[in-house]
């Protein structure tokens, strides 16, 4: 099993550009999450999904969009990149929600917006 795979690993965007961060998992997990991690801070939840076709906002959803058309994939879309979105983005999945089963994380996408 590959687990949770994120692409790309690194990306530099100019202000106002858009991009999609890809995330796929092969563990047949229903729950998937997007977090951002800023230096010296804990992880903040952006969006999450409890299954295909169902998504919901987390703590910091502004400036982002998600979709969940399949169990395996959970892409994160940035429409108009801003410097405040410079961060490391992590996708994660779990078998059940509410933190009641271990989260499996991808290796992250380091995004810089200049």
Residue 107 CB, shortest distance to another protein, in Å, is 5
Nearest C-alpha neighbor of 73 from the set 98, 97, 93, 59:
93
Q: Does 92 bind another protein (CB under 8 A)?
A: yes
Of residues 66, 85, 106, 111, which one binds another protein by CB under 8 A? 106
Instruction: Looking at residues 4 to 33 of the shown chain, list those that interact with another protein (rule: CB under 8 A).
Output: 4
Q: Which residues contact 31 (CB under 8 A, 6 or more apart)?
A: 48, 49, 50, 51, 93, 94, 95, 96, 97
Dist. CA 63–CA 77, nearest whole Å: 9
Q: Does 93 bind another protein (CB under 8 A)?
A: no
Q: Does 40 bind another protein (CB under 8 A)?
A: yes
Residue 15 CB, shortest distance to another protein, in Å, is 26
Instruction: Looking at residues 41 to 70 of the shown chain, list those that interact with another protein (rule: CB under 8 A).
Output: 41-45, 48, 58-59
Dist. CA 24–CA 109, nearest whole Å: 13
């Amino acid at each position: 099993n590959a687990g949770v795979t994120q692409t790309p690993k690194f990306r530099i965007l100019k202000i106002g550009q858009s991009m999609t961060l890809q995330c796929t998992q092969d563990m047949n997990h229903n729950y998937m999450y997007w977090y951002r991690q800023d230096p010296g801070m804990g992880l903040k939840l952006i969006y999450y999904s409890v299954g295909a076709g169902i998504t919901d906002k987390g703590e910091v959803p502004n400036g982002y969009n998600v979709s969940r058309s399949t169990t395996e994939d959970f892409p994160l879309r940035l429409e108009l990149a801003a410097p405040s979105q410079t961060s490391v983005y992590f996708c994660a999945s779990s078998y059940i929600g509410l933190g009641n089963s271990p989260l499996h994380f991808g290796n992250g996408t380091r995004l810089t917006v200049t």
